[in-house]
Structure 1
Amino acid sequence: MKRDHSFDNYLQSSANNVILTNVAVGGRIACVLECQMRLPDCVAVLHQDQELRCILLRRFFNDWNSYLSNKSVAYFLRKYECSPGWREFNNHCYFLNQTMRTWNEAKVECQRHNAYLVEVESSDENTWVTSTYIKPPDQCPVSWYCSVWSGGMYSTTKQNHVWQNSEAIASYTNWDSDQPSGGGQNCINIWKGGKWDDAFCGAQFEFVCEKP
């Protein structure tokens, strides 16, 4: 049987999101059960029918479907359940802490819950966070009163804005018209209409935590 090397290459490029590869389980159902035994770390599985390969994933990918469209691979997502008080979006859990904190204090508070300050990676996620946690502009006479900290920060090493937890450069952004303004304002908050602002990290806002 010819081995699917393109599949191997894809897994290798996404190694940080794979828990185990080639798990010896012997079928789709057993592969899903193996994922359930590894909750909450495992959020999805891949099962390649021809080679009976089971791969456990720690993260949901938006691009799996396009990659697998011509492959004999089954993709399963487990039903995601968040802790009380947390809300689910795209197989991640989110929580709004309404206590005013500096960016560093907010980061530490999220870590206490095995989470991190929200990393907004798409327009859909930004829209969901905004509609779920940020009051509309007509309820916020002062934008700062309705702002939340995100995990975004300016990295002097990378000379770009990055996400604190993943250390990835923010490929998706939604800056307000006059932002980022710089000048030592290195931490990203989300405010009116889901627009982004860079603020002094010592400022105090509510904040959103995220965890897989």
Structure 2
Amino acid sequence: MKESCNHGWLYYSDNCYLVSQEQMSWHEAKLQCESNGAFLADINSAEENTWITDKIIDNQTWSDITHHVWIGANDIGKEGIFILSEMNSTLNFTNWNQEEPNDDSGEDCVASIQERGLWNDLPCSLKCSSICKKIN
């Protein structure tokens, strides 16, 4: 695998990542990622979660993103069963914030909390930044 990505994308562990500051719903973010040949980021390990969190915080060009960043997990199909949207498989890693997921008012989509990398389930219609991922 080559250790480079297209302009604006960041490389980590055989994948390329792109953060969008544009505020959009989870479904809009998913479509935007797909239009770039990618998918909403599936986070598969504590190391990957930490890398994403550090890059979002440390990169000044992303300093204006919202408090939450859409990632690829959701429980749209069956309440309480969170899957990765790209692979339609259950999560093998989670990093839920305290008292999450809580499905408060029908929250079915997952976002990472910017400062700490903890996850929160939110209404899919909420407008947030997002992170796309593609295999390099």
Contiguous gaps of at least 5 residues in structure 2: none
What is the CA-CA distance between 1:134 and the residue it aligns to?
3.9
Please identify runs of 4+ aligned residues in structure 1 that moved more than 6 A: none
Q: 2:66 aligns with which of 133, 138, 145?
A: 145
Q: Percent same amino acid among aligned pairs? A: 28
**Paired positions, count:** 128
Query: Given residue 18 of structure 2, which amino acid in structure 1 is its aligned partner?
Result: F
Q: 1:190 aligns with which of 109, 112, 128?
A: 112
The match for 1:176 is 97
Q: By percentage of residues, which structure has more helix?
A: 1
Query: Given residue 190 of structure 1, which amino acid in structure 2 is its aligned partner?
Result: S
Q: Deviations over 1:3-33 (max 9, x none)?
A: xxxxxxxxxxxxxxxxxxxxxxxxxxxxxxx
1:211 aligns with 2:118: no
Contact 1:121-1:172 at 8 Å conserved across structures: yes
1:165 aligns with 2:89: no
The match for 1:82 is 5
Q: Deviations over 1:27-82 (max 9, x none)?
A: xxxxxxxxxxxxxxxxxxxxxxxxxxxxxxxxxxxxxxxxxxxxxxxxxxx33320
Contact 2:46-2:93 at 8 Å conserved across structures: yes
Query: Given residue 163 of structure 1, which amino acid in structure 2 is its aligned partner?
Result: L
What is the CA-CA distance between 1:145 and the residue it aligns to?
3.1
d(CA) in 2 for partners of 1:197, 1:162 = 14
What is the CA-CA distance between 1:155 and the residue it aligns to?
4.3
Query: Given residue 104 of structure 1, which amino acid in structure 2 is its aligned partner?
Result: H
Query: Given residue 84 of structure 2, which amino acid in structure 1 is its aligned partner?
Result: W
Contact 1:134-1:148 at 8 Å conserved across structures: no
d(CA) in 2 for partners of 1:159, 1:115 = 26
1:116 aligns with 2:36: no
Contiguous gaps of at least 5 residues in structure 1: 1-77
Change (3 A) 1:134 1:169: farther
Change (3 A) 1:178 1:159: closer
What is the CA-CA distance between 1:87 and the residue it aligns to?
0.3
Larger RCO of the pair (alpha carbons < 8 Å, separation 6+): 2
Contact 1:122-1:172 at 8 Å conserved across structures: yes
Q: CA RMSD in A?
A: 1.8
SS at match of 1:197: strand
d(CA) in 1 for partners of 2:50, 2:124 = 24
Instruction: Give the structure-2-normalised TM-score.
Output: 0.87
Instruction: Give the structure-1-normalised TM-score.
Output: 0.57
